[in-house]
Amino acid sequence: MAMKSVEGEPKGPPATARRGRVPAWVTNYSYPLGAIVFLLVFWEIFVNAMKLPAYLLPPPSLVFGVVATQSKLLALHAVTTTMEVLLGFVMSVIIGIPLAVGIVSSRFFDRSIYPILVSSQSVPKIAIAPLFVVWFGFGTFPKVLVAFLISFFPIVISTVVGLRSVEPEMIYLIRSMGAGPMDTFRKIRFPNALPSIFGGLKIAITLSVVGAIVGEFIGADRGLGYLLLVANSNLDTKLLFAAIVYLAAIGIILFMIVERIERALIPWHVSRRTEVILESM
Amino acid sequence: MASGPHLSFDRVSKIYQSADGPVHALDGVTFDVGRREFVSLLGPSGCGKSTLLLISAGLLPKSGGTITIEGKPVQGPQTQLGIVFQSPVLLDWRRVLDNVMLQIEVRRLRRDQYQKRAEQLLASVGLEGFEHKYPFELSGGMRQRVAICRALIHDPPLLLMDEPFGALDALTREQMILDLQKLWLESQKVVFFVTHSIPEAVFLSDRVVVMSPRPGKVEEIFTIDLPRPRHLDIRETKEFAAYAKAIRDIFQAYGVLKDV
């Protein structure tokens, strides 16, 4: 048959700012950077004008001074915390995704495990954290466990939602090709769920940072959470803020890494979605 | 069974269990689709035409009656066919060619033997050069053409189409109707075509099966005795208008269509 295309040119990817006046990364980064610089300048002027003592609110100039002079100490603690965050996150992925697959594919899992999971989320993890110190001591593991507990739930939920939201026609279609449950999962359900899974992963990575810090607050001898407590008790507010700067940097960098992986794995989804502000973080 | 009908419905019924009790969707549907025949199933929305198509493919269970394809009763999903739905149902993560080749992969056929055929099919529907585009880069009509290629790549004897042009703009739709007729004339395929467009059904079909509103029953079967190949201006002929009016009268009698 010779079908002729009646409709006009195909829709290409949206030609926003790709080729235009300014390169895309400039517009992507200039707005958030500009906002942050404005905030810092305002902060500096405010502290100086109000003559606030540094132990109450140090000006950004002093904080960045500490970030520079104490970089060795901060980096050392940052490495510990980053390890805990990553281990907790990886544990969430390794346990969360298969658990979600189990919930979606087995009625038994769905009926028995899912309700427990959901109700367990109403228990504040911070309340359980001291117990982990009793059980597992002051090492890395209890912190990883708290990070895992906080971050795995969004992964499970988003994976379950993603795996379930398949157009029925898609399932009909692949069944008419003779596909069994494995084919349906590998070729339809799982790739179809990836955008949703990545939504969960992005929440999880930021929550994992929170979890690691909470774990360190309960009982630790290193890590940025530990450093925060020490700086706080010494009224060393500059160091406290410097630790927060490091913490924020870890969170942002890890988030961006997850987003890069998302871009590499599901370009068909990322390029279709409109540019969001988070992309330029 | 070489002489019997290709697809046969015998007193097929379907009852849904809904929150407000059982819903009678189909009731005693009986008709045949012959070899090399183009048969349309025409009815108002909600009369169970799409349900009947899914049942015939073994994708939905029926509540009663028998369906046979080439003499064999339909039990479970049928694979000796191709399906096109109203939405293209392309996989967003696969490029155009890989979307067509899904059919080959799932059937465990040899990819290298069908790659060429897939490219030819795509070229024949005007998609040459689009093999490596993603679905989101195509227009609605182009996506539906990819879906048709995917339904044909394994050369099935039966093509099931569920309002395949329903979501397209009027002009694209006319072109697709002409192209489908050409495809059908050139191939040996049986086409079972579900639509709610009277002109579309009359233009394309050898026979039009008109269904009543729910519960869906076969109201009347029209044999469309118009010469092939049919051209678009056949729709202005007296004969064509007579068929369309006869069908329209049925819907008016049911109150599905109300004239002012």
Q: Could you count the other beta carbons within 10 Å of the beta carbon of residue B227? A: 8
Q: B160 φ, ψ to 5°?
A: -105, 125
Label residue B151 by pLDDT band (50, 70, 90). Answer: very high
pTM, two decimals, is 0.82
Cβ of B59 within 8 Å of Cβ of A176? The answer is yes
Asked if residue A243 has pLDDT above 90, the reply is yes
Portion of chain B with pLDDT greater than 70, in percent: 99
Q: B164 φ, ψ to 5°?
A: -65, -25
Q: What is the ipTM of this complex?
A: 0.91
B63 touches chain A (CB under 8 A): no
CB A183 within 8 A of CB B91: no
> What class is the A58-280 domain?
mainly alpha
Asked if residue B1 has pLDDT above 70, the reply is no
Q: Which residues of chain B are within 8 Å of residue A8 when distances are taken between CB atoms?
A: 139
**What confidence tens digit (pLDDT) does each residue in A36-74 have?**
999 999 999 999 999 999 889 999 999 999 999 999 999
Amino acid identity, residue A70? Q
Residue A1 confidence (pLDDT): 44
Residue A277 confidence (pLDDT): 42
Residue A20 confidence (pLDDT): 55
DSSP state of B216: B
Residue A252 confidence (pLDDT): 94
Q: What is the mean pLDDT of residues A175-202?
A: 94
Q: What is the mean pLDDT of residues B90-114?
A: 95
Asked if residue B239 has pLDDT above 90, the reply is yes
Q: Which of A9-13, B24-28, B142-146, B153-157 has the lowest mean pLDDT?
A: A9-13
Asked if residue A12 has pLDDT above 80, the reply is no
CB B219 within 8 A of CB B209: no
Pairing state of beta strands B7-18 and B207-211? unpaired
Q: Which of A176, A188, A192 sits opposite B83 (nearest CB)?
A: A176
Asked if residue A15 has pLDDT above 90, the reply is no
Give the residue, B71 or A6, on which the prediction is more confident.
B71
Q: Which of B77, B89, B135 sits opposite A175 (nearest CB)?
A: B77
Asked if residue A164 has pLDDT above 90, the reply is yes
Asked if residue A17 has pLDDT above 60, the reply is no
Asked if residue A134 has pLDDT above 80, the reply is yes
Is residue B190 within a helix (H) or strand (E), and if so which, with residue range? strand B190-195
Residue B44 confidence (pLDDT): 86
Portion of chain A with pLDDT greater than 70, in percent: 88
Q: Which of B107, B171, B175 sits opposite A3 (nearest CB)?
A: B175
Where do we find the tokens 């006869």?
B246
Q: What is the mean pLDDT of residues B149-172?
A: 93
Task: Indicate the SS3 state at residue B104.
Answer: helix
**Interface A:B, Cβ pairs < 8 A:** 111
| Alpha carbon distance A150, A141 (integer Å) | 14
Q: Which residues of chain A are within 8 Å of residue B171 when distances are taken between CB atoms?
A: 6-7
Asked if residue A272 has pLDDT above 70, the reply is no
B83 touches chain A (CB under 8 A): yes
Interface of A with B in 78-137 (CB under 8 A): none
Q: Which of B92, B107, B174 sits opposite A268 (nearest CB)?
A: B92
Give the nearest chain A residue to B54 (CA atoms): A172
Task: Indicate the SS3 state at residue B71.
Answer: coil
Residue B29, beta-bridge partner list: B12
Q: Which residues of chain A are within 8 Å of residue B127 when distances are taken between CB atoms?
A: 5
| Alpha carbon distance A117, A29 (integer Å) | 39
Residue B222, beta-bridge partner list: B208
Asked if residue A4 has pLDDT above 50, the reply is no
Label residue B2 by pLDDT band (50, 70, 90). Answer: low
Residue A32 confidence (pLDDT): 86
A186 touches chain B (CB under 8 A): no
Q: Which of A134-143, A265-274, B114-123, B181-190 has the lowest mean pLDDT?
A: A265-274
CB A214 within 8 A of CB A126: yes
Residue A6 confidence (pLDDT): 44
Residue B185 confidence (pLDDT): 92
Residue A271 confidence (pLDDT): 60
Q: Which residues of chain A are within 8 Å of residue B164 when distances are taken between CB atoms?
A: none
Q: Which of B59, B136, B176 sits opposite A175 (nearest CB)?
A: B59
Asked if residue A188 has pLDDT above 70, the reply is yes
Asked if residue A278 has pLDDT above 90, the reply is no
Q: How far is CA B154 from CA B70, B80, B104, B149, in A?
A: 18, 9, 7, 9
Residue B138, min C-alpha distance to chain A (Å): 5
Asked if residue A275 has pLDDT above 70, the reply is no
Cβ of A3 within 8 Å of Cβ of B130? The answer is no
Q: What is the mean pLDDT of residues B116-136?
A: 92
Q: What is the mean pLDDT of residues A88-109?
A: 94
Residue B258: exposure state from Cβ atoms within 10 A (0-12, 13-18, ≥19)? exposed
Portion of chain A with pLDDT greater than 90, in percent: 67
Put residue B155 in one of left, alpha, beta given phi > 0 → left and psi -120 to 50 → alpha. left
Q: Which CATH superfamily is B1-80+158-260 part of?
A: P-loop containing nucleotide triphosphate hydrolases (3.40.50.300)
Residue A174 confidence (pLDDT): 96
A5 touches chain B (CB under 8 A): yes
Q: Which of A75-84, B46-55, B83-92, B250-259 has the lowest mean pLDDT?
A: B250-259
Cβ of B54 within 8 Å of Cβ of A4? The answer is no
- HEC states along chain A? CCCCCCCCCCCCCCCCCCCCCCCHHHHHHHHHHHHHHHHHHHHHHHHHHHCCCCCCCCCHHHHHHHHHHCHHHHHHHHHHHHHHHHHHHHHHHHHHHHHHHHHHHCHHHHHHHHHHHHHHCCCCHHHHHHHHHHHHCCCHHHHHHHHHHHHHHHHHHHHHHHHHCCCHHHHHHHHCCCCCHHHHHHHHHHHHHHHHHHHHHHHHHHHHHHHHHHHHHHCCCCCHHHHHHHHHHCCCHHHHHHHHHHHHHHHHHHHHHHHHHHHHHCHHHHCCCCCCHHHHC
| Alpha carbon distance A10, A5 (integer Å) | 10
Q: How would you list the strands of the sheet with B72-73, edge to edge? A: B21-33, B7-18, B64-69, B72-73
Label residue B158 by pLDDT band (50, 70, 90). Answer: very high
Residues contacting A240, CB < 8 A, separation 6+ = A228, A231, A232
Best interface-test mutation with A: which of B91, B144, B177 has the largest number of A CBs within 10 A? B91
Pairing state of beta strands B158-162 and B81-84? parallel
* CATH 3.40.50.300 domain range(s) in chain B: 1-80+158-260
Asked if residue A207 has pLDDT above 90, the reply is yes
Average predicted confidence (pLDDT) for chain B: 92
Closest alpha carbon to B6 in B36, B29, B40: B36
